[in-house]
Amino acid sequence: MEIQKSYKFSEINYKKLKEIADFKLVRDRTVFNEWFDFKYEISKYDEDYLTKLIKLNEYNIVDYDEYQLFGHFISPLLYKVYFLGKNFREWYQPHLSGTVNEKILYGRPDFMVASGDLEPEIPFFFLQEFKRQKTGSDPQRQLLAQMASAMENNKTKRIRGAYNIGQNWSFVILDKNAEGKYKYYESRSFDSLDIDHLKKIYKYLKAVKHKYCK
C-alpha cells in the first residue's frame, strides 16, 4: 500500500507546489473588478486611523520580523475591518488540513475568515504570511496550498486570499475548473505605507466581509 505524501504549509515552495498539483497563473486582472468595485465610503475617522497607522510604522517596518509586523501593523488593520458577523469570524493560526491530488496538506494559516463558533468550518478568506522578506519563505505558494485545501474540503470552486511581504500586499483568487485544474489570478501589488493604497487594501478587505462571508 502506497503511503500518501504529506506537505506542511510553511514548507511549501514553487517546487513542492508543482508536486502537489498544477497551478496555472492567468495573466488577467479583470477578474478582480467585481471584488474591487465594492462601493464603500471610508469615513474621515477611518482615514485618520489609517494615516496614524502608517506614521507609527513607516520608519520601522523594514526591520520588523513577522511577529512585529503582525502585532504593530496588520493586527490593528484587521481589527479595524472587524471580521465578525452572524455566520463568520476571524481565526488566527487555526489548524487546517486537506487532501489535494491524494496528497495531504496541513498546518496553521496565519489568518483565516471562516464560519464556525468554537472551531472554523467553511473558510471564506486567507491571509498569509506576514514575512518581512521573501528569502527563505514563499508566501504566495503557501497561500495557494491553503486555499486549495479549503476548496477540496468544502467542495467549492473559488476562494479568495491575500499575502503580504512587509509593506506590500497582493490579492489572489483561486479557481478550480470542471477538469479539476487549478488556476489563479493575482492583483497588482499595493504599498500599505501609501495612504491611497492602504485605503484600497482596507476597502477590499471590507468587501470580503460584506460580499463573500455568507
Mean pLDDT of the chain: 93
Q: What is the mean pLDDT of residues 147-176?
A: 95
| Domain assignments of the chain as residue spans, ordered by start | 6-212
The pLDDT value recorded for residue 82 is 97
CA distances from 17 to 25, 134, 135 (A): 13, 16, 17
Model confidence at 50: pLDDT above 80: yes
The pLDDT value recorded for residue 132 is 60
118 burial type by CB count under 10 A (0-12 exposed, 13-18 middle, 19+ buried): exposed
β-pairing, 182-186 with 6-8?
A: unpaired
β-pairing, 88-92 with 168-176?
A: unpaired
Give the residue from 1, 214, 7 showing the smallest Cα distance to 105: 7
The pLDDT value recorded for residue 79 is 95
Q: Which of 13-17, 29-33, 80-84, 127-131 has the lowest mean pLDDT?
A: 127-131
Per-residue pLDDT band at 54 (split at 50, 70, 90): very high
pLDDT tens digits for 108-160? Answer: 999 999 999 889 999 999 998 666 654 568 899 999 999 999 999 999 999 99
